[in-house]
């Protein structure tokens, strides 16, 4: 299995998918716009985090393994 990373070009942030990473709907966040996140706003813990992105399911998505 490949070790996949998520990269944010604007901040240079790299997140390994072996960490707990989630795809979330912005409507569940307590923010007005996504610009608030880009400007450094933090998100309080979310009860329903969303869909887990991990090496296993993303490898299957991209590489059909």
**What's the pLDDT tens digit per position in 42-60?**
666 666 667 788 888 777 7
CA–CA separation, 37 vs 41, rounded Å?
5
**What's the pLDDT tens digit per position in 16-35?**
988 888 887 777 766 666 67
**Number of domains comprising the chain:** 1
Neighbours of 53 (CB within 10 A): 18
Query: Where in the sequence is the domain holding 32, given as residue range(s)?
Result: 5-63
36: confidence class by pLDDT, cuts 50, 70, 90: low
């Amino acid at each position: 299995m490949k070790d996949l990373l998520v990269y944010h070009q604007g901040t240079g942030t790299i997140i390994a998918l072996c960490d707990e990473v989630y795809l979330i709907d912005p409507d569940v966040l307590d923010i007005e716009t996504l610009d608030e996140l880009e400007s450094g706003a933090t998100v309080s813990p979310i009860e329903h985090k969303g869909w887990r992105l991990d090496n296993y399911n993303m490898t299957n998505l991209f590489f059909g393994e």
